[in-house]
Amino acid sequence: MESEATVLIVEDDPGLASALSELLEVEGYKTQVEHNGERAIERIRSENPDAVLLDLGLPDSDGFEVCKAVRPAYMGAIIMLTGSHGDNDHIRGLEVGADDYVTKPVSPPLLLARLKALLRRLEQISEVTDLSVAGGDSKKLNMGPLFIDRRARQATIDETLVELTTFEFDLLWMLARRSGTTVRRDELYRHLLDREYDGLDRTIDVHISRLRKKLVEFGGEADWIKTVHGKGYQFFVA
């Protein structure tokens, strides 16, 4: 899918949108451009692109509003483009459902690396492999009230479906299949984002926080995911 993927570029700066489109098309991607936030919402819902590059500073509905509006039903990759180098916009973007972010001025190699990593992960979703979970079906986990089916890509708590993004599901699966052991933060970065943890990046931390909230919202417990300070995270359902 990666080189044939369709990417919707939501950017109100025509020059930057054109440059991004040219960059991606040279790499084999199919691109579409949208300058308006409200129309972007409609197009993401109707066209279902493989990935969205979403500028935060749109003149009508900003990138946060667009992401929040489409994320409940859109399972593709969303990369936020932000002119801010502080944490606030990055964290807020991840909290409303973005998978990752890139700051402006956009570094082409960095953007391509992050886009390729997310699309590779999405491509692997249909290629469910044997993860050697001891004691049963390697593609299903049952922990008290929590049931996870990797083939169906669904998690339920007391038979209530938990509404997760693709990233959140993969994060939950990676933690749950190693229940009771500490999964290191740098391992999560390599496996889910295909990059090394630099000691400062908070992307995984924000996704963990969002996943905790989702589990509680649908009947689970926040302490199912424990932070092991200086190391990573541990998942355990009593």
What percentage of the chain carries pLDDT values higher than 90?
A: 80
Q: How far apart are CA 36 and CA 237, in angstroms?
A: 44
Burial class, 219, CB count within 10 angstroms (exposed 0-12 / middle 13-18 / buried 19+): middle
Closest-CA residue to 85 (of 62, 61, 101, 109): 101
Per residue in 133-161, pLDDT tens?
A: 444 446 899 999 999 998 888 999 999 99
Per residue in 5-42, pLDDT tens?
A: 999 999 999 999 999 999 999 999 999 999 999 999 99
What's residue 143's pLDDT? 94
What's residue 109's pLDDT? 96
What's residue 121's pLDDT? 87
How far is C-alpha 167 from the geometric centre of its chain's CA atoms? Answer: 4
Q: Worst-scoring range by mean pLDDT, 40-44, 129-133, 223-227?
A: 129-133
Q: Which residue, chain included where needed, has tokens 């979703």? A: 125
- Containing H/E element for 226? strand 225-228
Pick the residue with more confidence: 117 or 3?
A: 117
How far is C-alpha 122 from the geometric centre of its chain's CA atoms? Answer: 10
Task: For the chain, give the mean pLDDT.
Answer: 90
Q: What is the mean pLDDT of residues 62-83?
A: 93
Q: How far apart are CA 154 and CA 161, in angstroms?
A: 7
The pair of three-digit structure tokens given for residue 53, joined into one six-digit string: 């590059």
- E strand map for 92-138: 100-103
Could you name the CATH architecture of 140-235? Answer: Orthogonal Bundle (1.10)
Check: CATH 3.90.1150.10 for 6-124? no
pLDDT at 237 over 90: yes
- Using the CB atoms, write b or e for 179-212: b if 16+ within 10 Å: beebbebbebbeebbebebeeebebbebbbbbbb
Q: Where are the domains of the chain?
A: 6-124, 140-235
Pick the residue with more confidence: 1 or 59?
A: 59
pTM of the model: 0.85
Closest-CA residue to 55 (of 73, 24, 82, 28): 82
Contact (Cβ atoms closer than 8 angstroms) between residue 61 and residue 35:
no
Per residue in 78-124, pLDDT tens?
A: 999 988 766 788 899 999 999 999 999 999 999 999 999 999 988 87
Please report, to the nearest 10 degrees, the dihedral formed by the alpha carbons of residues 75, 81, 86, 89 taken in order: -50
pLDDT at 185 over 80: yes
Is the alpha carbon torsion for 95, 98, 102, 105 positive or negative?
negative
pLDDT at 58 over 60: yes
- 128 band by pLDDT with thresholds 50, 70 and 90: very low
pLDDT at 167 over 90: yes
SS3 81: strand
Q: Which residue, chain included where needed, has tokens 């919402």? A: 41
